[in-house]
Amino acid sequence: MSKKSKNLEPNTGWDFDPAPEKVPVEIKAQYDLFIDGKWVKATSKKFFNTINPATEEKLSEISEASEKDVDLAVKAAAKAFGSWSKLPGKERAKYIYRIARILQERAREFAVLETMDGGKPIRESRDVDVPLAAAHFFYHAGWADKLEYAFPGLKPKPIGVAGQIIPWNFPLLMAAWKIAPAIACGNTVVLKPAETTSLTALRLAEVFEEAGLPPGVVNIITGAGSTGAALVNHPGIQKIAFTGSTEVGKVIRRSVAGSGKKLTLELGGKAANIVFEDAAIDQAVEGIVNGIYFNQGHVCCAGSRLFVQESVREEVLQKLKFRMRSLILGDPLDKNTDVGAINSAEQLKTIQHYLSLGKKEGLEMYQNAGGTPKKGFWCQPTLFEDVAQSSVIAQEEIFGPVLAIQTFRTIDEVIQKANNTPYGLSAGVWTDKGSKIFNLTSELKAGVVWANTYNKFDPTSPFGGYKESGFGREGGIHGLAAYLNLEG
């Protein structure tokens, strides 16, 4: 580590010129619901605003679907199920391949829209969200005519109408995660995006139109919690897939109990990211930053608990803080931006609440010194040092750019601490020793373990949690089981 000289200090004296992504994106003043292949007015006649969280400017008005609208959407999906489920798999595949291709062609438009509506840096929506969304459709398209090979000895049958509720952190990507396997397996869908981020899901409906997807196969209805509840409780739904908080996941599970509806839940997390003294420290620091500050920490699998072996604590902290100071926070549409806007005023309030709790506990807090734009919702990348296992900062999911740092001496100690949480979605391990990696990856109770890497996703790679992080997997051959009745 070089001495801290002023010249090497990042973000001092050298400002980047603005480099905004300039592809213009047309946004309608108002959006209707997409039901049965048509754009229909919500019977509630109610709209709510969707805003750009980086500027607080209103982008559009979104329809609030009522119980009646939900009913119409479910009926349309049920009607479409008859013919869609009987369509030969190879024909279903062609529609889904086409959707993937159109998404790739219109990728920039989707990236800009995603960034405007959700606040994430264009670098991420352009390089992660949109390409992965297209990849999910492409991957699952190919499964449509190969399902009988996926589960030896069992006969795969589509389930029926899938009600899908997705969160605001990866709006388009989550829609793709949910819709692609559902329709590849011959089901039809009613999808509800999160209320703060409806725009890319609605634009995805335009892609379905463009691809000629038969009416009713996918219906997109917008609204808040009550719309979601109406969807969950609708008797015409055979399958529910939800990604969101553990709290809401439990509510959904209770309301579905005994109904016979199939359920998959992808819920919260509080992942341990573990750095051993024999790790490649520079790479580990990149992994820590990517683990917690990617998408402003609005990631269920974020590496929000950092465990550093005591012997390298000083080095890791020094390098981590140096790296944090080089992160550029600001206009999400700027190609140089690393940290975008917090998704909503409400979420910012939640994060700030945790920051004040951490300070009240007397924890040492470190934040980037740089200011934040006057308008919009912002939180500088933050870390808390020497957090106790019992601290609320180490226990609860904050869903923001807030890292809780703990130290450890022995492997057994860190395994015990890492697993000491009701969650079990993901974990990270940094060491150059192969046998240690395999020991750790088998001991950590988490559905996804990244070794010497973090926050990597792929449609072929099953994703989902242990314990209170939910159940079922999305992606890969394992993810198909969630959308099929498998008869022995």
Partner 1 sequence: MEVAKTYKLYIGGKFPRTESGRTYQLKGPKGENIANLCQASRKDFRESVIPARKAQASWASKTAYNRSQVLYRLAEMLEGRKAQFVDELKQSGFSLLEAKKEVEDSLECLVHYAGWADKYQQIFSSVNPVASSHFNFSVCEPSGVVVATAPLSNPLHGLCFLVSVCLAGGNSLIVLASEKTPHVAISFAEVVHTSDVPGGLVNILTGFEDELVEHFASHMDVNAVIYARNNSKVSQKMELASADNMKRYFNWSDLEGKIKYSPYFIRDLQEVKTTWHPIERISSSGSGY
β-partners of residue 62 are 31, 48
**Shortest Å distance, C-beta 398 to partner 1:** 20
Using CB under 8 A, which of 265, 271, 272, 393 touches partner 1?
A: 265
385 is catalytic: no
Mark out the alpha helices in 87-198 (DSSP H runs).
Answer: 89-105, 107-118, 122-124, 130-143, 171-184
3-state secondary structure of 10: coil
The active-site residue, picked from 195, 266, 397, 468, is 266
- Whether the CB-CB separation of 80 and 188 falls below 8 Å is answered with yes
Tell me the DSSP string of 212-266.
TPPTTSEEE---SHHHHHHHHH-TT--EEEEES-HHHHHHHHHHHTTS--EEEEE
If the CB atoms of residues 314 and 458 are measured against partner 1, the closer one turns out to be 458
> Is 280 one of the binding residues for partner 1 (CB under 8 A)?
yes
| Subset of residues 445 to 474 that bind partner 1, contact rule: CB under 8 A | 446-453, 456, 458, 460-464, 466-471, 473
Q: How many residues bind to partner 1 according to rule CB under 8 A? A: 49
Site string for partner 1, 153-192 (x = CB under 8 A): xx--------------------------------------
> Minimum Å distance from CB 355 to partner 1?
28
Residue 244 binds partner 1 (CB under 8 A): no
Residue with smaller CB distance to partner 1, 106 or 467: 467
Return d(Cα 307, Cα 411) in angstroms, integer: 11
Calculate the alpha carbon distances from 10 to 133, 137, 324, 401, 403 in Å: 34, 40, 9, 19, 21
Spell 467-486 as b/e; 16+ CB within 10 A means b: bbbbbbbbbbeebbbbbbbe
Is 379 in the active site? no
Q: Report the distance separating Cα 260 and Cα 435, nearest Å.
A: 44
Minimum distance from CB of 6 to partner 1 (Å)?
A: 29
**Cβ closer to partner 1: 233 or 461?**
461
Question: Does residue 257 belong to the site contacting partner 1 (CB under 8 A)?
Answer: yes
Closest CB to partner 1 among residues 76, 174: 174
Residue 472 in tokens: 């079922």
Report if residue 152 touches partner 1, rule: CB under 8 A.
Answer: yes
Residues annotated as catalytic (active site), given as ranges: 266, 300
Contact footprint for partner 1 (CB under 8 A): 135, 151-154, 246, 249-250, 253-254, 257-258, 265, 267, 280, 283, 286-287, 422, 437, 441-442, 446-453, 456, 458, 460-464, 466-471, 473, 476-478, 486, 488
